[in-house]
Amino acid sequence: MKEIYLPIKAEVVEVLDMTPDTKLFKVKPERPVHYQPGQFFMLSLWGKGEVPISITSACGFHEYVELCIRRVGYITSAIHEVKPPCDIGLRGPFGNTFLAENAKNKDIIFVAGGLGIAPLRPLITRVMNEKKRSRRIALLYGSRNPGEILFKDDIEAWQEKGLQLFLGVRKGLQFILSAGKKDNCLLSGSGPAAESSRIPKISFKNAYAFVCGPPVMISPTMITLSTMGMDENNIYTSLEAHMKCGVGKCGHCYVDGVHLCTDGPIFSYAEIRKRRLQIV
Amino acid sequence: MKKNLIMDKNYLSYWLRQIRKTMSLIAPMRLKNADIVFKQVDNIHEIELDCPASLPSPKEFLLPQKEYMFRFSKNSVDVLKDCTKRLIFGVRSCDISAIDLMDRFFGEKFVDEYYMSRRENTVFISIVCNNPDPTCFCIGLGTGPFLKSNFDIQLTDLGDRYLVETGSKQGADLIRGYSHLFSRPKKSDYDDQYEVILSSQSKFEKRISLENTRQKILNEKINDLFWDWIARRCFECGGCVYACPVCTCFNVVDRMEQEGDGYRFRIWDACMFKGFTRMAGNVWPAEKKGSRIKQRYFHKLLYYPDHFGRFGCVGCGRCTITCPGHVDMATIAHRIDVGDRRRR
Ligand SMILES: Cc1cc2nc3c(=O)[nH]c(=O)nc-3n(C[C@H](O)[C@H](O)[C@H](O)COP(=O)(O)OP(=O)(O)OC[C@H]3O[C@@H](n4cnc5c(N)ncnc54)[C@H](O)[C@@H]3O)c2cc1C
Ligand code: SF4
Ligand code: SF4
Ligand code: FES
């Protein structure tokens, strides 16, 4: 029988300080792991406990994985104390994935708030690598202050491949909305010149959106995007819940008839509304 | 596999004594002048069968209140798994139905190896309830007082003898080698069985239809004020969850014994507790007591039927006995079904 609670060993090979409370951990699991964008690991420290952490490195089959962790409590503080070389435990990957296949050849808008960029990073990287000239892809990215912009190198690389970057989520959404009121067509260049540079040039009707960030950001973003005419089935987000097992057994993440750890954590806006899932 | 036999009551203790040689025997016993609990049997004659249902359910033996999962030290990790062979004797039908639900829950998708290891080594002898307790309402759910299938061995007390039905391979293994204790049932035995069941069915004091309750909830007849009103009487003690044979939620905790050495274990947890869903940064998704109670009852009354085709309640009535605020499944279901002035 497969041991679902037994973590495999993983060696921490590098730790990078990203902001005062966020570190990037590069770890080498005992055996290479295969994962998809949006999935998470249960990271385990013997003697402390386990926490769910999204995989932030490029997806696929890899020897190394990267985890971006913010210090917020008991276990994450303990993880921040880890100095390489050192072993930690990993279980997973768990959870469903961002279905990027459906969004093939469609415009995409990514909305990330703070650490929300971490689970989106593998997806953005994949999309930008597969991107053809005609496709328009935008990233709205906000953080508490400009010093906390994460993954600057990646963002530059994506911009070189044609990503439209907009810093500041709330401002970005406001621009989208105010521009939307002026003229219903938000396609390239149709707004007043001064504003058009701040509006993602994508066609909202056919676009896909992937939204990740703190709950206070998720609902207004989803509402704005659907107001702009985006199909609710095409707006995805990753929900968060207290998790203990990651495999649908402990019951901690069970809300409204779904286990966020196995049925989620990724849901479309349509599903969230249908099931009346709570965005905490 | 299905086989019916008759056993004289005088043979029971001999049979159990023989079986006990190969596995640990667990049965309902009376603590000194107090509650009935399932525990390991030292003296077979101390087994209590004519008694109210045990307060702690036998789920304890499949999902213990505290189960050690791993022992870790600086450079090694041991998986701790319980493989003790157990016979649990004298279980009621409702509890067997609850175990059937747990089997399906722990056995689907990611299979829980700790539960399975205990489950595969446990066999049950259940007894048809001739005298249901005043709190029992299994009759409305089809989970008791007797079972048609899904049991290992089911006994029906026919006065001076038992009708012994085997329903599984593990059950059949308990009979094998003891054919001298059993005889073929006669027509009169089946007639007596019929009488016993009819008489038992007539003794139920509570008639509760969870299906009506479910329909009322689905038709949005119940609003959040109802749950808030229930919540005012709940002490958040968690007793209803711990006593319930169907509830399975657990927490996982690490404990250090000394530098680098320790255990990881799981313990029962309850969705009735405020901290159950707490997240870092002081986020409390289910801060309101009413929303937690609603979640628990929606799980049992709506989500279980959606997912498993059966209610997440077997009508054992334990929450009725436990709840100090008198807001148990039977009461709540009755309020929802039959009416309450706060209902729209
Ligand atoms: C699918 C998913 C992906 C995540 N990805 C990341 C990531 O990439 N980087 C990152 O920094 N954080 C991520 N988180 C949040 C992270 O899991 C929590 O910050 C972490 O559990 C807090 O643990 P703690 O012991 O430090 O906090 P404490 O407040 O001390 O929490 C104690 C316990 O509560 C539970 N808990 C508390 N907060 C959360 C929470 N927000 N989510 C789940 N369980 C919680 C945990 O079981 C934890 O052990 C993710 C959460 C989820 C659900
Ligand atoms: S909800 Fe109450 S009556 Fe139903 S199975 Fe659980 S403890 Fe028994
Ligand atoms: S037993 Fe009663 S008082 Fe205790 S948590 Fe359950 S409903 Fe609340
Ligand atoms: S984390 Fe345990 S059930 Fe989802």
The answer to whether residues A120 and A252 belong to one domain is yes
- Residue A148 within any structural domain of the chain: yes
Q: Which residues pair with B27 in a beta bridge?
A: B39
Quote the pLDDT of residue B103: 95
Quote the pLDDT of residue B67: 94
The answer to whether residues A70 and A139 belong to one domain is no
Closest partner residue to A280 among B112, B260, B285, by Cβ?
Answer: B285
CATH code for the domain in which residue A89 is found: 2.40.30.10
Quote the pLDDT of residue A135: 77
Mean pLDDT across B110-123: 94
- Give how many domains chain A has, as a whole number: 2
Domain boundary, last residue among A54, A78, A94: A94
Rg of chain B, C-alpha, whole Å: 22
Quote the pLDDT of residue B344: 42
Residue A232, judged by CB atoms within 10 A of its CB (0-12, 13-18, 19+), counts as middle
What is the Cβ-side half-sphere exposure of residue B10, based on CA atoms within 13 angstroms?
1
Kindly list the distances between the CA atom of residue A168 and the CA atoms of A12, A128, A165, A225, in Å, as whole numbers in the listed order: 33, 21, 10, 16
Quote the pLDDT of residue B115: 95
Mean pLDDT across B153-181: 92
Domain boundary, last residue among A94, A115, A139: A94
Nearest-Cα distance to chain B for A76, in Å, is: 10
Kindly list the distances between the CA atom of residue B217 and the CA atoms of A83, B62, B97, B206, in Å, as whole numbers in the listed order: 53, 32, 24, 21
Q: How many CB atoms within 10 Å of residue B157?
A: 20
The answer to whether residues A40 and A71 belong to one domain is yes
Quote the pLDDT of residue A199: 63
Give chain A's contact residues with B (Cβ, < 8 Å): 1-6, 46-50, 72-73, 76, 215, 240-242, 244-245, 247-252, 254-257, 262, 278, 280
Mean pLDDT across B197-214: 90
The 10s digit of each residue's pLDDT in B215-271 is 888 887 788 889 999 999 999 999 999 999 999 999 999 999 888 799 999 999 999
Domain that holds residue A178: 101-275
The answer to whether residues A108 and A34 belong to one domain is no
Q: Which long-range contacts (CB under 8 A, 24 or more apart) does A53-59 make?
A: A54/A118, A54/A119, A54/A238, A55/A93, A55/A119, A55/A122, A56/A24, A56/A118, A56/A119, A56/A121, A56/A122, A57/A26, A57/A121, A57/A122, A58/A121, A58/A122, A58/A125, A58/A126, A59/A35, A59/A122, A59/A123, A59/A126
Quote the pLDDT of residue B1: 62
**How far is residue A272's CA from residue A174's CA, in Å, rounded to a whole number?**
23
The answer to whether residues A84 and A120 belong to one domain is no
The answer to whether residues A109 and A210 belong to one domain is yes
- Residue A108 within any structural domain of the chain: yes
Tell me: cis bond preceding A265? Omega within 30 of 0 counts: yes
User: Do A49 and B302 lie within an 8 Å CB cutoff?
Assistant: no
Quote the pLDDT of residue B24: 93
pLDDT tens over chain A, length 280 residues:
678 999 999 999 999 998 888 999 999 999 888 888 899 999 999 989 999 999 999 877 778 899 999 999 899 999 999 888 888 999 989 999 888 777 777 888 898 888 999 999 999 988 888 877 667 888 888 887 777 888 888 888 888 888 888 877 666 666 666 655 444 433 333 334 334 455 667 777 788 899 998 888 888 888 888 887 888 888 999 998 899 999 999 999 998 889 999 998 999 999 888 887 777 5
Mean pLDDT across B42-46: 87
Residue B322 Cα: closest atom of ligand 2: 7
- Residue A280 within any structural domain of the chain: no
User: Do B277 and A247 lie within an 8 Å CB cutoff?
Assistant: no
Size of chain A, expressed as the number of residues it contains: 280
User: Do B106 and A249 lie within an 8 Å CB cutoff?
Assistant: yes
CATH code for the domain in which residue A123 is found: 3.40.50.80
Domain boundary, last residue among A94, A118, A151: A94
ipTM: 0.86
**How far is residue B296's CA from residue B240's CA, in Å, rounded to a whole number?**
10
**How far is residue B91's CA from residue B78's CA, in Å, rounded to a whole number?**
33
The answer to whether residues A146 and A29 belong to one domain is no
**How far is residue B108's CA from residue B115's CA, in Å, rounded to a whole number?**
12
State which of A245, A256, A258, A263 you would mutate to test the pocket of ligand 4, scoring each by most atoms of that ligand within 8 A of its C-beta.
A245
The 10s digit of each residue's pLDDT in B53-105 is 778 899 999 999 999 999 998 888 899 999 899 999 999 999 999 999 999 99
The answer to whether residues A30 and A48 belong to one domain is yes
In terms of CA atoms, which chain B residue is nearest residue A261? Answer: B110
Quote the pLDDT of residue A192: 40
